[in-house]
Structure 1
Amino acid sequence: MIDTHPISFNGITPTPAWAFHQYEQIRRWLPAGLPTSEQPGPVTLEDMAPLADRFQVYVFDAFGVLNAGPRAFPAAIQRFRELQRMGKHVQILSNAATASHAKLVEKYRRMGFDITPEQLISSRWLLEQSLSDRGREGLWGVIAPENSEPDTLPLDWQPVRPPVTEQLKRKLDSYDGLIMLSSEDWNEEMQAALEATLTERPRPLEIANPDLVAPRGDCLTLEPGFFAHRARQASGVQPQFYGKPYAPAFQAVLERFADVPPGQILMVGDTLHTDILGGQNAGMKTLLVTAEGSLQGMDIPRCIAQSGIAPDFIAPEI
């Protein structure tokens, strides 16, 4: 299947340096994080082998840690299996929202990660839990490709998909709220229409995936979080985000392992502003992976100094 997530927008082609700068630009809209005096001094490792017996629970981000797009990292598959053989609890905590929970579990099983549905928490799942717990009134527009199975969402909805037409604009104006599952097929015209309708009549905007970018092989794609923050700047509407770095994503992990102290949980991710920031706020220990993720090729100590977000450990891969 051809990936249709945007790799450019209004002349912007995302790079790791650009993405880091964008996260810094929206820093005030992210969780506060630990004060400087409480930031750890990162320990650099070749991989996470020295940590394999140190924690009770290992929580892995997906893109940039386990895989890049459809390509799984062989070393990640091996480490995942090793931890399972050791009797450790392993969990995937992903901001993925295009695929339904069942399809996402199936995807990682095909890649070689032997997980059950209970070992995956996605931002799509978190959104669906919120919709189930607190129903949304009225008719909602859902931004998602057809293959994302938005019919799993427990609310009254209609699809919002390109191209922009007068009919689409009228529909956008009529919705009681908007949900963005995916940035697939999103473009400048659709973004302009979204910003215009929210500016004209502010309404709830719920974003399943807070990521600005995602590593997909040899490029970074622009993700829903990027477009949501642009819409916020244009309209003043504050989006409701699900997934990392926001507390509900990490609270879901803590609830699944209520008998495990947070300090006995290791959050492994490739992004300082999502995986590491959110894990720290939840009291978890953190490992930053640098070889193929969103910080690939960056000066990591400088990024840590600029952001004020320091992981407990740093390794090129797991």
Structure 2
Amino acid sequence: MDNHPTSFAGVTPTPAWAFAQYQRVRATLPEGLPAHRQPKTQTLDSLAPLLEQFRVFVFDAFGVLNTGSRAFPSAIERIRQLQSLDKTVMILSNAATASHAALVRKYQQMGFAIAPENLVSSRWVLEQRLRSAPVPGRYGVLAPASSEPDTLPVDGHPVLPETTGGQLDTFDGFIFLSSEGWNETDHDTLADNLKRRPRPVIVANPDLVAPRGDCLTLEPGFFAHRLMDQCDTLPEFFGKPYQPAFQAILDKVPGIPAGDILMVGDTLHTDILGGQAAGMKTLLVTEEGSLKGMDIPDCIAQSGIAPDYMAPAI
């Protein structure tokens, strides 16, 4: 059973609300392309016309390949087609609840022929950073026990629902892996603790929302930005749209120019903005995902983030 929050403090997220929230935190995201360099978006029926144009195809997961635990059959077929054409297929996901091995198994069980080296999650990016630049001290890990937080190369300890403010004082910082099970009491306890004693907050999943079937769930990025408003803390974000996630993709395909890579996603402020900042070409899918039912041209105009291509699905 999925236990990610679908409401918080009277807010039930909708695509329009989520878009407005991304606009509100725009200053914390990477800079986009200046107006004179924004592409003129081409509308396609699918990515079929682009099959021969790119050498590497990078797919966001939620809203593009699946919604919650349900994979899109057309996405499974498209991935198989690309692989049959000897294209490099990568998944770049902000998912951080599951360990890398568990996330690979999840997509394999859905029907995607993805090897471990073809999946980059924001959690994996964080783990690589912690290995190359260890953080000292004792960290509280915000995630359910089922997420295997012990894979993190840090002195990490679960922050449990019954954790009190006094127990939070024993931590030198916090790692926000997952919003699963997170609630108003937990959040207010953490916020009050950080107000009294600011410490580092590392956020593995910068997403504000995630599409899960007929609803949007609130993700760690939402709570991290709320902490920014409440406390004297500046979280460090991993995952899209930030540079380390896209650099991880570039590192896995050495010798291939960023312009020969197509980033495919459902969110302007994460997939498209981050892909463009990395020099990749971008395709926005609109039938499912965080912008479902929205006036997409208006969203592009408001955000100033224009994808190279737009299609209902892949």
TM-score band, normalised by shorter chain: over 0.9
SS at match of 1:174: coil
Q: Does residue 143 in structure 1 map to residue 139 in structure 2? A: no
SS at match of 1:132: helix
Note the 1:94-173 alignment, pairs <5 A.
Answer: 94-163=93-162, 168-173=164-169
The TM-score, its normalising length taken from structure 2, stands at 0.99
- Structure 2 residue aligned with 1:219: 215
Q: Does residue 275 in structure 1 map to residue 271 in structure 2? A: yes
Unaligned runs of 5+ residues in structure 2 are: none
SS at match of 2:191: helix
Moved more, 118-127 or 252-261: 252-261
- Structure 2 residue aligned with 1:301: 297
- Structure 2 residue aligned with 1:62: 61
- Structure 1 residue aligned with 2:226: 230
How far did 1:256 drift?
Answer: 1.2
Aligned-partner Cα distance in 1 for 2:177–2:264: 24
- Structure 2 residue aligned with 1:291: 287
SS at match of 2:54: coil
- Structure 2 residue aligned with 1:240: 236
How far did 1:192 drift?
Answer: 0.6
- Structure 1 residue aligned with 2:31: 32
Spell out structure 1 runs of 4+ moving beyond 2 A.
none
- Structure 1 residue aligned with 2:261: 265
Aligned-partner Cα distance in 2 for 1:131–1:197: 24
- Structure 1 residue aligned with 2:17: 18
Percent identity reads: 64
Aligned-partner Cα distance in 1 for 2:14–2:232: 27
Aligned-partner Cα distance in 1 for 2:89–2:96: 20
Aligned-partner Cα distance in 1 for 2:7–2:132: 36
- Structure 2 residue aligned with 1:203: 199
Superposition RMSD in Å: 0.7
SS at match of 1:232: helix
Q: Does residue 73 in structure 1 map to residue 72 in structure 2? A: yes
Q: In structure 1, what residue type is equivalent to 2:193?
A: T
Aligned with 1:252 (options 248, 252, 268): 248
How far did 1:158 drift?
Answer: 1.3
Q: Does residue 184 in structure 1 map to residue 190 in structure 2? A: no
How far did 1:237 drift?
Answer: 0.6
The TM-score, its normalising length taken from structure 1, stands at 0.98
SS at match of 1:277: helix
Aligned length: 314
How far did 1:162 drift?
Answer: 1.0
SS at match of 2:53: coil
Which whole-Å deviations, capped at 9, do the CAs of 1:187-229 have from their partners, x for residues lacking one?
1111111111111111100000000000000000000000000
Unaligned runs of 5+ residues in structure 1 are: none
Moved more, 193-202 or 301-310: 193-202
- Structure 2 residue aligned with 1:4: 3
SS at match of 2:128: helix
How far did 1:163 drift?
Answer: 3.2
Aligned-partner Cα distance in 2 for 1:315–1:185: 34
Q: In structure 1, what residue type is equivalent to 2:170?
A: S
Q: In structure 2, what residue type is equivalent to 1:46?
A: D
Aligned-partner Cα distance in 2 for 1:252–1:159: 27
SS at match of 1:280: helix
- Structure 2 residue aligned with 1:51: 50
Aligned-partner Cα distance in 2 for 1:272–1:289: 10
How far did 1:53 drift?
Answer: 1.3
- Structure 1 residue aligned with 2:40: 41
Q: In structure 2, what residue type is equivalent to 1:232?
A: M
Which whole-Å deviations, capped at 9, do the CAs of 1:244-281 have from their partners, x for residues lacking one?
00000001111111211110000000000000000000
Aligned-partner Cα distance in 2 for 1:123–1:170: 30
Aligned-partner Cα distance in 1 for 2:160–2:56: 40
